[in-house]
Structure 1
Amino acid sequence: MISAVSAQRTESFTPTIHDIVARRSVRSVYQPIVDLRTGQTVAFEALARGPAGSHLESPMALFDAARQAGLRDELEWICQATAIRGALDRGLKGTSLFVNIEPETLGAVSPSDLVATLAAGRRSLRLVAEITERALTIRPVELMRGLESLRDAGMAIALDDVGANRDSVAMLPLVNPDVIKLDMGLVQGQPDRTTASYLSAVAAHAEASGAHILAEGIETEKHLITALALGATFGQGWHFARPGPLPEHLPSVSSSLLLDRTHPSIDRDPAAAAFAQRPVNRASKRHLLAISRHLENWALTAPEHPILLAAFQEVRHFTPRSRDRFAGLGAHLPFVAALGVGVAEHPAPGVRGASLAPDDPLTGQWDVVVLGSHFSGALISRDVGDDGPDMDRRFDFVVTHDRDLVTRAARSLMSRIGQNDERRP
């Protein structure tokens, strides 16, 4: 029997989240990522664990405690550094290493004592930042800005749990991940019509972009067959190995999962890009309004939940009637945005706004961009500069359903959101 004194001593040595963070006493386990065509290990995912046997051993308990204590960002950096240090100590150079990153911590400054380890990892490993899909529908603008900083640091991007939320599939072209990790529910569950439509969109994006599809939760031979049927070429799960120490025999660099895709730059001027590739027409605002309404109505009735972004030149063109229409769009779509000189950060309920600088090329454009998992369409127009009644103003314009052009226009508009908040009063 344990005495009361012994129990008190045992409890006194129970680590708190403050102890764990201060002592950097996080450990990493690693799970292989396998080429489903050959069975060969091509990468590893690092998974964080707290002190063994403690109440904070599980990653969920560990991060919940860190959030409550205000230590989430520091714990995130500790987990990354621990994963990198463990990989480098075992000689895992040149191999792809997936590290989980909480979206809320993107942009946080790393502790000074971890900088050297993090830098060594970026030099010697192929680091892949793994971000959960749910972040796309919570703070998509901030997430995409954070992902750009990760790419600038030399990291590839893996989007985790894809399939858990159908609203996020329209965001795939904007995030443009290097790896799409299918949610284990797709691998272990029963397929239905909705799942088939969703996976069709994922497969189409992967084919067009060159992204890899990776299936999680492969625990049986049946799961493996399902993963292959879903279009996955890579996978992980207990069928191959449980998380644990790195194995004695590590994959060679030549067999590593290669993530060397190039990512297109963002167009500053959507009209210039569209006009260079499509025939340009001219019409009055009165005529273009019908096209704009058609795109908006399609977005509202589409079964695939697209996103919609629009540039209004100036806030005076975002009329009370526009506000009501966009509030209706914002209530039904996963993401809606309105841009223009003087537009507020939240110009209507459920709508994200951006105030354009007076010299921004978009101030001379009226653009409406709708991007869904299957459908894409855009009205991209440039003001000719007429005087006179507003509805008689003429625009040079292009209407396009070319997915590449629509995606480029969406990226261009999205890049302005959150960028110029310092100009707001």
Structure 2
Amino acid sequence: MQHIHDLLDLRAVTPVFQPLIDLATGRVVGYEALSRGPAGSPWESPAALFAAARAAGREAELDWICRAVAYRAALAAGFGPELTLFVNMEPTAWRAGCPADLVPIFDAARDRLRVVTEMTERAIAADPAALLSAAESCREAGWGVALDDVGADPMSLALMPFVHPDVVKLDMGLLHAPDDPATARVVAAVSAYAETSGAVVLAEGIETARHLAVARTMGATVGQGWHFGRPAPLPETTPAAARLPLLPAPARGDRTPFEIVSAVRPVTRTTKAQLMPLSRHLEALAGSGPEPPVLLACFQEARHFTAHTAARFQRVAAHSPLVAALGIGLPAEPAPGVRGASLGDDRLRGEWNVIVVGPHRAAALVARDLGDNGPEADRRFDFALTHDRGLAAEAARSLLHQLAPVNVPALL
């Protein structure tokens, strides 16, 4: 095999599998599929394999190939309905579409396998619309979603509610630094999410009995690592498995933030002048604390995103995982570090929204313009306010679909 193109054309990728273990019973709940290039080739390691595919402009195709060969192996091994297969996915591959020759494998997998698709928080910031659409596609098949490497980047905590993962995978670095205050913050945020959602917490990188004990104190109920088994081909006989629970899918649809929140919260009528202090208070929440939240806002029109507003949003964006401003005529980056989107939805054009979602707090101010023609400060709005985490996250998801993808460096 002389070239990376030959490897990809031949689909010459080999899957290996690492067991996932129920920490209470020691039973297998599933396997994570990992990919390798041809043994002895320059592309044997996954890092080299993906780097070469990226350089050749075929990274998305490789992503589909890796999942397809994992599905094919699991199907051949006779995975039963109790056994869960974990696979990694870059949501950008969802935009590219499945290669035609791999479609039959994916169709068979949807019919016969129980899959959890792993995604990372950097995909949310890079292409939130693709990530949410990919997650919805997985759930339509009855599959689950996992958020991978949580804790490797503190910003992943603020982005967790948007993925609404069935499984939260604690980064292996946390097990090696259990006394670090940053580890405690991650564990507290993940525990809060797991308690309210019912999500499973999985600890990666368990290599010793001590790691296992630490994982349990961090709230993990499922573990993965060399202590239980190294990546290898699937066993000839798959073990009796403990079924991994999945969550109900989050609410979806085409409602706007105002429609979402006002359906369950009281609506009050007031003027723009009276709403401004409340709007700025929510913006200030996004700029405070050790774990800055996501900030999303609708401004109706670009003229309302003033120089002073741009400066405030730029300050928040300097240390927040995602800050976005939406409005008619707003460019892709209306201020340094701030994502922008020009609205095409007529319903959103009439809304003024400020939504803040972080690891430990959430709030949404949603308002609808009544169409007054008088002085700017006297323009009237119907508005509703919520601090309910689920409502704020649902309102935010409706805006994330409006954001176009950006190019970010690929990480492995």
**1:210 and 1:261 in contact (8 A); partners too:** no
Partner of 1:109: 97
Structure-2 change in CA distance of 1:21 and 1:220 (3 Å): same
- Is 1:92 the counterpart of 2:118? The answer is no
**1:182 and 1:214 in contact (8 A); partners too:** yes
Q: How does 1:138-157 map to 2 (within 5 A)?
A: 138-157=126-145
- Is 1:381 the counterpart of 2:367? The answer is yes
- Is 1:135 the counterpart of 2:123? The answer is yes
Alpha-carbon distance in 1 for matches of 2:25, 2:127: 38
**2:292 and 2:320 in contact (8 A); partners too:** yes
Partner of 1:123: 111
Alpha-carbon distance in 2 for matches of 1:369, 1:266: 18
For 1:211-249, what per-residue CA distance to the aligned partner results, in whole angstroms no more than 9, with x for missing partners? 211111111111111111111111111111111121233
1:139 Cα deviation from its structure 2 partner: 3.6
Alpha-carbon distance in 2 for matches of 1:406, 1:111: 37
Q: Mean alpha-carbon deviation: is it higher for 218-227 or for 121-130? A: 121-130
Partner of 1:53: 40
User: Which of 317, 321, 334 lines up with 2:321 in the alignment?
Assistant: 334
Partner of 1:3: none
Q: How does 1:262-341 map to 2 (within 5 A)?
A: 262-266=249-253, 268-341=255-328
Structure-2 change in CA distance of 1:365 and 1:92 (3 Å): same
Partner of 1:19: 6
**1:364 and 1:382 in contact (8 A); partners too:** yes
Alpha-carbon distance in 1 for matches of 2:95, 2:8: 19
Partner of 2:344: 357
Structure-2 change in CA distance of 1:158 and 1:315 (3 Å): same
Alpha-carbon distance in 1 for matches of 2:5, 2:382: 61
Partner of 2:165: 177
Partner of 1:236: 224
Alpha-carbon distance in 2 for matches of 1:267, 1:71: 33
- Is 1:164 the counterpart of 2:142? The answer is no
1:372 Cα deviation from its structure 2 partner: 1.1
- Counterpart code for 1:52: A
Q: Secondary structure at the match of 2:231?
A: coil
- Counterpart code for 1:411: R
- Counterpart code for 1:124: R
Alpha-carbon distance in 1 for matches of 2:176, 2:308: 47
Q: Secondary structure at the match of 1:328?
A: helix
- Counterpart code for 1:275: S
**2:35 and 2:46 in contact (8 A); partners too:** yes
Alpha-carbon distance in 2 for matches of 1:180, 1:130: 9
User: Which of 213, 229, 234 lines up with 1:225 in the alignment?
Assistant: 213
Partner of 1:204: 192
Alpha-carbon distance in 2 for matches of 1:141, 1:351: 16
Unaligned runs of at least 5 residues, structure 1: 1-13, 420-425
- Counterpart code for 1:412: S
Partner of 1:215: 203
Higher relative CO (CA 8 A, sep ≥ 6), structure 1 or 2? 2
Unaligned runs of at least 5 residues, structure 2: 406-412
Alpha-carbon distance in 2 for matches of 1:372, 1:287: 26
Once superposed, what is the RMSD of the aligned Cα atoms? 2.1
Structure-2 change in CA distance of 1:93 and 1:302 (3 Å): same
Q: Secondary structure at the match of 2:78?
A: coil
Partner of 1:399: 385
**2:172 and 2:205 in contact (8 A); partners too:** yes
**2:127 and 2:403 in contact (8 A); partners too:** no
Q: Mean alpha-carbon deviation: is it higher for 57-66 or for 99-108? A: 99-108
Structure-2 change in CA distance of 1:252 and 1:15 (3 Å): farther
**1:137 and 1:167 in contact (8 A); partners too:** no
Identity over aligned residues, as a percent? 53
Partner of 1:347: 334
Largest Rg, 1 or 2: 1
